């Protein structure tokens, strides 16, 4: 592992999580998405067929023990 990676990991480990700040950030991003017209989606069910196909394939893979 490089020195810079070790340094970055050390900083990440030493920082405390601020849950309220995280909620503020998510709310701000949500509000911006609304202002940009990305949310709410025009068609809520768009892409559902693809998601269902992916879920069927993933669920059909045998689970290893």
Q: pTM for this structure?
A: 0.51
Domain around 39:
17-60
How do residues 4-21 score in pLDDT, each as one tens digit?
999 999 999 999 999 999
- Residue 2 to residue 30: CA distance in whole angstroms: 36
Distance of CA 24 to the CA centre of its chain: 16
Counted domains in the chain = 1
Q: Tokens 């068609």 label which residue?
A: 43
Q: Is residue 49 part of a domain?
A: yes
User: What is the C-alpha end-to-end distance of the chain, expressed in Å?
Assistant: 32
Q: Is residue 37 part of a domain?
A: yes
How do residues 20-60 score in pLDDT, each as one tens digit?
999 999 999 999 999 999 888 888 888 899 999 999 999 99
Supply φ then ψ for residue 9, to 5 degrees.
-65, -40
Q: In which band, very low, low, confident or very high, does the pLDDT at 65 lie, cut at 50, 70 and 90?
A: low
Q: Is the peptide bond before 40 cis (omega within 30 degrees of 0)?
A: yes
């Amino acid at each position: 592992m490089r020195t810079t990676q070790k340094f970055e990991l050390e900083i990440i480990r030493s920082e405390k999580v601020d849950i309220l700040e995280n909620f503020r950030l998510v709310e701000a991003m949500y509000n911006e998405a609304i202002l940009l017209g990305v949310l709410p989606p025009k068609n809520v069910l768009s892409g559902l067929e693809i998601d269902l196909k992916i879920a069927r394939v993933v669920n059909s893979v045998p689970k290893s023990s």
